A = this chain, B = another copy of it.
Amino acid sequence: MADKFRRVCVVGVGLIGGSMALSMRRMGLADEIVGVGRRIENLKNALQLGAVTGYTRKIEQGVEDADLVILAVPVRAMPELVKSARGHFQPGAILTDVGSTKAKMIKAIEPLLAPGVDFIPAHPIAGREKSGAEYSDPEIFQGRWTIITPAKSSSPKGVQRIRRLWRALGAKVELMAPEVHDRILASVSHLPHIVAYGLVGALLKLDRKTPLLRFSAGGFRDFTRIAESSPEMWRDICLENKTEILRAMEEYEKELRRMKTLLKQEQGKGLLKFFETCRQVKGKIRNSNG
């Protein structure tokens, strides 16, 4: 069972921050939850939903007396926020985050930490193409992975508390080094988004020559769903995880070139074999995801 927090501060009450808050409230894991954000409208929504018990637009005020602070804003906004709240953290407070990239962000935040603040970075792999507190869903983490990527300064005790918290929210938890996380996520999440954005971009251009989007079939519609994600979030992910994303893109471009050769040379057998190999992937995901 996860131990209770007295006062939690959620910085950024969007889909993930709001869902965490709502889930913690429902499970009785926090006496108080203060939401910090810029848009009053969104904070009011969060209050009405019961995700937070109060809110403020000032992070300095939000972290005051909090024994858990959760950063749930785009990764690149995190260091500045930590810096401005620096003098206001309660000694012994745990600081965690939900960012999609880790190594660079951790390096930027560690030197800014107030003494006695225990930073435990984490990443729940549970995004959707919606943003804002109004989409909060306490079930969103159920059966999904949360990856904890301890920083050099993270205490084992803090890691355990955050691990128990995520388990209580229904997640499967794995620990790994920030660099390993960033490499894996570049492949399973960032590359697919780049690929989808590229396809949508290409079709928007082709559509200008010959109107064709009206005939778009099921296959393409899945891609457009991905392209509805938050542009700010994906800009930050690209900038923070550039090296690993470029590496994954190279592997992808190799595959595209290989398919192009098979096509150009009309190698029916080669194409068939490749498509058959790809069919295995579903099984591989299923088998290893238990």
- Contact residues of A with B, CB < 8 Å? 125-128, 145, 147, 174, 180, 183-185, 187-189, 191-207, 210-229, 231-232, 234-235, 238-239, 242, 245-246, 248-249, 251-256, 258-260, 262-264, 266, 268, 271-272, 274-282, 284-285, 288-289
Which residues of the partner chain B approach A279 to less than 8 Å between Cβ atoms? Answer: 227-228, 231
Cα(A183)–Cα(B207), bound, Å: 11
Which of B147, B231, B242, B289 is close to A266, meaning CB atoms less than 8 Å apart?
Answer: B242
Q: Closest approach, in angstroms, between the C-beta of A171 and any C-beta of chain B?
A: 12
A219 x B205 contact (CB < 8 A): no
Most chain B Cβ neighbours within 10 Å, of A221, A263, A271, A278 = A278
Q: Closest approach, in angstroms, between the C-beta of A98 and any C-beta of chain B?
A: 14
Which residues of the partner chain B approach A126 to less than 8 Å between Cβ atoms? Answer: 217-218
Q: Closest approach, in angstroms, between the C-beta of A124 and any C-beta of chain B?
A: 10
Which of B188, B229, B232 is close to A213, meaning CB atoms less than 8 Å apart?
Answer: B188
A259 x B219 contact (CB < 8 A): no
B235 x A204 contact (CB < 8 A): no
A234 x B275 contact (CB < 8 A): yes
Pairs A-B, 8 closest by C-beta atoms: A231-B275, A214-B288, A222-B222, A227-B278, A202-B252, A201-B255, A192-B219, A198-B255
As for how many copies of this chain the complex holds, the number is 2
For A189, the closest partner residue in chain B by CB is: B217
A284 x B213 contact (CB < 8 A): yes
Which residues of the partner chain B approach A147 to less than 8 Å between Cβ atoms? Answer: 215
Cα(A57)–Cα(B187), bound, Å: 46
Which of B189, B206, B246, B252 is close to A248, meaning CB atoms less than 8 Å apart?
Answer: B206
A231 x B276 contact (CB < 8 A): yes
28 contacts between A and B (CB under 8 A): A128-B218, A174-B215, A187-B210, A188-B203, A191-B199, A191-B202, A192-B199, A192-B219, A192-B220, A194-B259, A195-B195, A195-B199, A197-B259, A203-B281, A204-B277, A205-B255, A213-B281, A216-B289, A222-B226, A224-B282, A227-B282, A235-B275, A238-B262, A239-B271, A245-B263, A246-B264, A249-B260, A253-B256
Which of B127, B128, B245, B268 is close to A235, meaning CB atoms less than 8 Å apart?
Answer: B268
Q: Closest approach, in angstroms, between the C-beta of A238 and any C-beta of chain B?
A: 5
Given contacts A195-B256, A213-B281, 11 further A-B pairs with CB under 8 A are: A184-B215, A187-B202, A189-B217, A194-B259, A201-B255, A201-B274, A201-B278, A213-B285, A224-B285, A227-B282, A231-B279
Q: Closest approach, in angstroms, between the C-beta of A99 and any C-beta of chain B?
A: 14
A188 x B201 contact (CB < 8 A): no
For A287, the closest partner residue in chain B by CB is: B214
B212 x A184 contact (CB < 8 A): yes
Given contacts A212-B187, A274-B201, contact A246 B227 (CB under 8 A): no
